[in-house]
Structure 1
């Protein structure tokens, strides 16, 4: 799958991500542990393009409901959860200062990315919140690619793992996963997993931050091991009598229903 990396003078880690405070926190956390870290940030997908993509997959009714949830409910949850989010960040000792001079690209699958990777010659690549890496891009990468995933894979693939686990009455399956990246969506070999508890102060807006705080130490450990040429042993993924499903965003209607019927906010 990839050539075994070897720690050497000037060896670097590349972070492929999108703009955001958790991206900043991940970059600074890596920089505290690794002398040479480069960030390559892709442009976000436009709202119209995103809506069309969801409509092709789910139909326009569901896509519109998801868009309404993202635009109408999520900002309110974020606003009312600022204190709780700050508490999570403080407990995890996250530094969120803006990145000084990241490399900007249209997409992680743009040819510029491979050109930059050839120049930087990283020993490990970390992806966080990007588009799915295409087969062409993956085939051109010869080093390990790690992902910090918000959910327990392979059970909760896609997005919002904690939320969907709670909706399905499985608080025992709330957690984060570090895994290698392959051609599937969150289907790569599991490196490590960590579960965490949800408090009464948490909701849809705080879950991503809890996922990040739980998974960050695992990711840093994995990066260290790979840079030291220590092959990561296959981890035993969390298993349950539960199907592996690719999750997406809730709609306004499904969120309100779960909040009042199940108490999941």
Structure 2
């Protein structure tokens, strides 16, 4: 089976590419987009969320995240060991760097390669031209249970909403919305007391690979797995917490 991966740079992409290689998927090519510039991200947040929310998010990222990352290193290692995963850049997958996932060059790369499936991991929202480049499933692994927890940090927000039963991950078909595509699988997992905001996504990704293996097996047999009928009370796109939101949650015991 011929697999194309559309992804952003980072640890989760390394984990995915290593997993594909370890599972024997040898016909894989990765198209990696560059990070969004800080200036562009700042302008987006100001426009979408307003000044106060943006300042609070930046304060969280600058003042709190480095502390959380340092404290999550050991736990992340334990998760990877438990699930038999690797995060180092130690795979033989061909990598093609592109400015961003919606650049015209990506359409050309997909058309030329004609993959059987496109796996999406941590990219910008994919636009119509890229999605229409090839008539195959685009499948995203989202760190949250959709449609309740779209956007980012879905596991954290489930805990903040006193909804631990929906701490998990979603495999879904990609459409032009934000994590709004038809659901292929929900996988729920219980975080350890040693987990925190920085290790939650690693745990969620680790829990996704059983479902991803089932989906890829079905596709290799020529079958698109059935989508789930999701009965949800609400649907919301979530963003980074502000520093004050996080500290309130921390007082409540949510790390």
Give the alignment's TM-score, normalised by structure 1.
0.91
Listed as ranges, the gaps of 5+ residues in structure 2 are none
Whole-angstrom CA distance in 2 between matches of 1:49 and 1:72: 21
Aligned counterpart, 2:6: 16
Tell me, yes or no, if the aligned pair for 1:148 and 1:216 is still in contact at 8 Å.
Answer: no
Aligned counterpart, 1:264: 254
* Displacement of 1:138: 1.6
* Displacement of 1:71: 2.0
SS of the aligned residue for 2:184 comes to: strand
Whole-angstrom CA distance in 1 between matches of 2:182 and 2:198: 28
SS of the aligned residue for 2:132 comes to: helix
1:232 to 225, 242, 247: 225
Aligned counterpart, 2:45: 54
SS of the aligned residue for 1:177 comes to: strand
Aligned counterpart, 1:71: 62
Question: 2:245 matched to 1:254?
Answer: yes
Aligned counterpart, 2:20: 30
Give the alignment's TM-score, normalised by structure 2.
0.95
Question: 2:90 matched to 1:85?
Answer: no
Which of 186-195 and 22-31 deviates more? 22-31
Provide the alpha-carbon RMSD of the alignment: 1.3
The 5 A counterparts of 1:169-184 are 169-184=162-177
Whole-angstrom CA distance in 2 between matches of 1:108 and 1:217: 26
1:5-41 deviation digits (Å, cap 9, x = unpaired): xxxxxx4101111111221110121122322011110
SS of the aligned residue for 1:130 comes to: coil
2:210 to 214, 217, 222: 217
Which of 120-129 and 219-228 deviates more? 219-228
Aligned counterpart, 2:130: 137
Question: 2:35 matched to 1:44?
Answer: yes
Tell me, yes or no, if the aligned pair for 2:140 and 2:171 is still in contact at 8 Å.
Answer: yes
Listed as ranges, the gaps of 5+ residues in structure 1 are 1-10
Whole-angstrom CA distance in 2 between matches of 1:63 and 1:25: 30
Tell me, yes or no, if the aligned pair for 2:111 and 2:133 is still in contact at 8 Å.
Answer: no
